[in-house]
Chains A and B, each alone.
Chain A
Amino acid sequence: EVQLLESGGGLVQPGGSLRLSCAASGFTFSDYAMSWVRQTPGKGLEWVSVISGGGGSTYYADSVKGRFTISRDNSKNTLYLQMKSLRADDTAVYYCAKGHRVVVAGTNLDYWGQGTLVTVSS
């Protein structure tokens, strides 16, 4: 059974940093691209970032480029999102999601974690 378990969310002050983790199980982690998607409470889904199965290709939404870094440790079956210079508009539930293929292009998101809430506020 595929499982994705996010952690690391919480309350952080504007300008602060936070690192989210997503522990994966039930599949060969390195064989699939992984993504982060966020959702402001009561609003729609916003794609944040994606990383290829091997970790060599990474892409970001313009809204987080230069502030967020996606990475993965295939030996630990774990996906990360390092977030810096956080702003109030980064407040959201952050989901990790599994792609259905190793490359980024054309992937869908076939399994999702339960999400972790990040609140940026003073």
Chain B
Amino acid sequence: DIQMTQSPSSLSASVGDRVTITCRASQTINIYLNWYQQKPGKAPKLLIYAPSSLQSGVPSRFSGSGSETDFTLTISSLQREDFATYYCQQSYTTPHTFGQGTKLEIK
């Protein structure tokens, strides 16, 4: 199985900061990397896929990049509503494993 490792596991930042979360796959996954945002008590929400395409309705301050094994999610200017947990997921091959999550907290 492909293992997905996110870093950091948690992150404190302020409104207006630029934030980057990384996700590394244990083997190549081509471009099949997705990013999700989850807020407490809510279902995850797709933000970015393949790995730089913005899902419809997602603000342009979110961006993704990478290929093969190394990927990043960047939030260019944090807004209060962005404080949440972020997960990467590979869909290159089953099982479509998730990273362990990155909890983004307010500093």
Show the binding face of A for B, using Cβ within 8 Å: 35, 37, 44-47, 50, 59-62, 95, 100, 104-115
Contacts of B38 in A (CB 8 A): 45
Q: How many A-B residue pairs have CB under 8 A?
A: 64
Contacts of A59 in B (CB 8 A): 94-95
> Any chain A CB within 8 A of the CB of B49?
yes
Interface size class of B (residues with CB under 8 A): 20 to 34
The reply to whether B44 and A112 contact each other, CB–CB distance below 8 Å, is: yes
The reply to whether B87 and A62 contact each other, CB–CB distance below 8 Å, is: no
> Any chain A CB within 8 A of the CB of B89?
yes
Within 8 A of A (CB), among B70-98: 87, 89, 91-98
Taking CB as reference atom, which chain A residue is nearest B94? A59
**DSSP class of B's interface residues: helix, strand, loop or mixed?**
loop
Residue from B87, B91, B92 whose CB has the most chain A CB atoms within 10 Å: B91
The reply to whether B1 and A110 contact each other, CB–CB distance below 8 Å, is: no
The reply to whether A106 and B43 contact each other, CB–CB distance below 8 Å, is: no
The reply to whether B94 and A104 contact each other, CB–CB distance below 8 Å, is: yes
CB distance from B22 to the nearest CB of A (A): 16
Partner of B44, one of A61, A100, A104, A109: A109
Taking CB as reference atom, which chain A residue is nearest B100? A44
Q: What are 19 of the A-B contact pairs (CB < 8 Å)? A: A44-B98, A45-B101, A47-B95, A50-B94, A50-B96, A60-B95, A95-B43, A95-B44, A100-B49, A105-B93, A106-B92, A107-B91, A107-B96, A108-B46, A108-B49, A110-B46, A113-B43, A114-B43, A115-B43
Contacts of A104 in B (CB 8 A): 94
Contacts of B96 in A (CB 8 A): 35, 47, 50, 107
Query: 6 closest A-B pairs (Cβ-Cβ)?
Result: A112-B43, A59-B94, A108-B49, A108-B34, A45-B98, A44-B101
Within 8 A of A (CB), among B19-77: 32, 34, 36, 38, 43-46, 49-50, 55
